[in-house]
């Protein structure tokens, strides 16, 4: 049983105080930060999406549908691509950042 309420939290690294929170599409499994784009990719196996968060604006800018149970992602910084592995259909989704 997961105990994650699906909230992204920004903390002050010096004080530990909460700066801001943001509701996600569900409980997060894996996250990658794309420094070049200021995007945080959050894989959420239930319901099967990747939330794309603009960390500079602190808002969700996109929800990419994967499939239920897809919680493993990889990020290729050079190609600016996110790969999501889809366990039910034995495929992979490739999402590319707009240039």
pLDDT digits (tens, 9 = 90+) for 43-99: 999 999 999 999 999 999 999 999 999 989 999 999 999 999 999 999 999 999 876
Judge whether 61 and 39 are in contact, CB under 8 Å: yes
Can you give the pLDDT at residue 99? Answer: 67
Can you give the pLDDT at residue 1? Answer: 39
pTM > 0.75: yes
Q: Where are the beta strands (DSSP E) in 16-99?
A: 18-23, 30-34, 39-44, 49-54, 59-65, 72-76, 81-86, 91-96
Spans of all domains in the chain: 28-96
Taking the CB of residue 63, how many other CB atoms lie within 10 A of it? 15
Q: Show the CA angle centred on residue 59, arms to residues 15 and 27, nearest 5°.
A: 75
pLDDT over 50 (residue 2):
no
pLDDT over 70 (residue 34):
yes
Q: Mind listing the pLDDT tens digit for each residue in 12-32?
A: 999 999 999 999 999 999 999
């Amino acid at each position: 049983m997961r105990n994650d309420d699906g909230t992204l939290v920004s903390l002050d690294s010096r004080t530990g105080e909460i700066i801001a929170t943001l509701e996600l599409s569900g409980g997060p499994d894996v996250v990658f930060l794309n420094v070049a784009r200021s995007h945080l990719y959050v894989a959420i196996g239930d319901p099967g999406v990747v939330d794309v968060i603009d960390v500079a604006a602190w808002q969700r800018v996109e929800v990419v549908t994967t499939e239920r149970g897809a919680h493993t992602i990889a990020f290729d910084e050079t190609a600016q691509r996110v790969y999501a592995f889809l366990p039910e259909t034995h495929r992979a989704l490739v999402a590319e950042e707009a240039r």
